Amino acid sequence: MGIPVIGCDCTVCQSPDSRNHRRRSSIYVEAGGFHIVIDTSMDFREQVLAYRVPRIDAVLITHSHADHIFGLDDIRRFNTIQGTMIPVYGSAGAIADLKRIFTYVDQTVPEPGVFRPRLTFCTMAGVFMAGPVKVEALPVLHGRTETYGYRLEWEGHSIGYVPDCKEMPDSTVERLAGVDVMILDGLRHRNHPTHLTVKAALDLLGRIGAKRSYLTHICHDLDHEETQEILPPSVYLACDGLKLTV
């Protein structure tokens, strides 16, 4: 829901700590001059303005929940700036949902004066290349919705990104093992039917063994500073605007 949560006056929602002000989860990756965004939340426009995102060459979708796709329309501004179609990668289910929701997406030559997102929908399968970046789509369990995380690799450097997850198959854990940076769902301490608790996330991170790990998709149950104090070394809370170099 983002923080502050609408209509909530808890200490985290009212916190003056900027790290407790959270837009919906997304990540922007630059590698070899190629620019990838993973998920386009309803906060997408605000995010790209706040962090001055200059270009988007590809979009990866983890799954088709509203908080991960409802900003897709604003990709059209990057079409105008770049003068190119932009590929959107997702599972068969996610792509079907995007086509159903965004029925007006233009996949042809645009009409003068008509500005629609110009996207090429690409059903992903296993390992593929997004520009110079090797992308591996890895299945995770997140309720009834077909959901994937991603392993990205470029010039020997790797990151894992799994923002929404309740359980992770052993095969996915094996593929993420030893990445340089792992970013993982860590919603709250209390159990949730479709998301990892902090403890469950830490258990998974122990198995993955990344050099650095970050928890994301954090709800208003967790105060940033208080939670960071109880995390083990090399595990951190992500926050809006965090920049990492791998």
CATH topology of domain 18-237: Metallo-beta-lactamase; Chain A (3.60.15)
pLDDT digits (tens, 9 = 90+) for 148-187: 999 999 999 999 999 999 999 999 999 999 999 999 999 9
Q: What is the pTM of this model?
A: 0.94
pLDDT for residue 8: 97
Cα–Cα distance list, 9 to 3, 6, 42 (Å): 11, 9, 23
Give me the chain's average pLDDT, please.
95
pLDDT for residue 232: 95
With a cut of 70, say whether residue 63 has pLDDT above it. Answer: yes
Other beta carbons within 10 Å of 40: 27
With a cut of 80, say whether residue 147 has pLDDT above it. Answer: yes
Segment 56-77 mean pLDDT: 96
Cis omega (within 30 of 0) on the bond before 4?
A: yes
pLDDT digits (tens, 9 = 90+) for 24-43: 999 999 999 999 999 999 99
Domain boundaries, the chain: 18-237
- Our CA angle for 84, 33, 68, nearest 5°, is 65
